[in-house]
């Protein structure tokens, strides 16, 4: 399950986790909200990248997007500055997919409008440098906090009485995974 943290629901996390805990969801992800403009995608509360290196964004090119009009985009960020490049965007109705990908890649690597957009896009930070900031125990969940999201995993009932510091140690050493497997195999 994924939830987007917004100013309106920022203080509701404990209630949400308490509501879903009995349902034993595998994971609840709380993602930072982002806004999009022609200048870029900005995740709220994520530090902006000052060291964009052309050609290194993990969001680009993994899965090209084809619009209904045949336009081929190399990343979802292109939706937001598409009008500025409209005449240069390759079209599947006019060229092969391989040619479209090649043209899109050239824009990504060499077009100043594309590059300036990428410099402002926080998807670069989120996907290239979304590092683990900390692990912690919170209200019956083991949590892993990244720069753009926090993932919560329900703690098995059999382990909830263990002190948080010991439980965190057990998670970090992989003991909880072994115990979960034991419980599953037994049941």
Cα angle value 112/99/93 (rounded, 5°): 105
Q: Is the pLDDT of residue 4 over 90?
A: no
Average pLDDT of the chain? 83
Average pLDDT over residues 155-177: 92
Q: What is the pLDDT of residue 27?
A: 87
Taking phi first (over 0 means left), then psi (-120 to 50 degrees means alpha), and beta for anything else, what does residue 106 get?
alpha
pLDDT score recorded for residue 45: 65
- The per-residue pLDDT for range 75-89, each reduced to its tens digit, is 877 777 778 888 899
pLDDT at 38: 63
pLDDT tens figures, 19-38: 998 887 888 988 877 776 66
More confident of the two residues 62 and 180:
180
Q: What is the pLDDT of residue 144?
A: 93
Specify the range with the lowest mean pLDDT, choosing from 99-103, 117-121, 157-161, 175-179.
Answer: 117-121
């Amino acid at each position: 399950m994924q939830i987007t943290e917004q100013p309106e629901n920022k203080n509701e996390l404990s209630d949400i986790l308490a509501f879903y805990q009995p349902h034993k969801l595998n994971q609840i992800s709380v993602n930072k909200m982002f806004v999009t403009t022609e200048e870029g995608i900005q995740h709220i509360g994520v530090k902006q990248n000052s060291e964009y290196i052309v050609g290194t964004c993990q969001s680009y090119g993994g899965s090209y997007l084809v619009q209904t009009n045949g336009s081929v985009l190399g990343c979802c960020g292109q939706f937001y500055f598409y009008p500025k490049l409209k005449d240069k965007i390759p079209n599947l109705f006019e060229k092969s997919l391989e040619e479209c990908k090649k043209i899109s890649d050239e824009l990504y690597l060499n077009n100043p409008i594309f590059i300036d957009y990428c410099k402002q896009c926080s998807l670069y930070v989120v996907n290239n440098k979304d590092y683990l900031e900390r692990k912690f125990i919170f209200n019956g969940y083991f949590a892993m906090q990244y720069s753009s999201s926090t993932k919560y995993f329900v703690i098995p009932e059999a382990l909830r009485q263990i002190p948080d510091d010991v439980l965190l140690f057990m998670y970090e050493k992989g003991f909880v995974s072994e115990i979960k497997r034991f419980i599953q195999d037994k049941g």
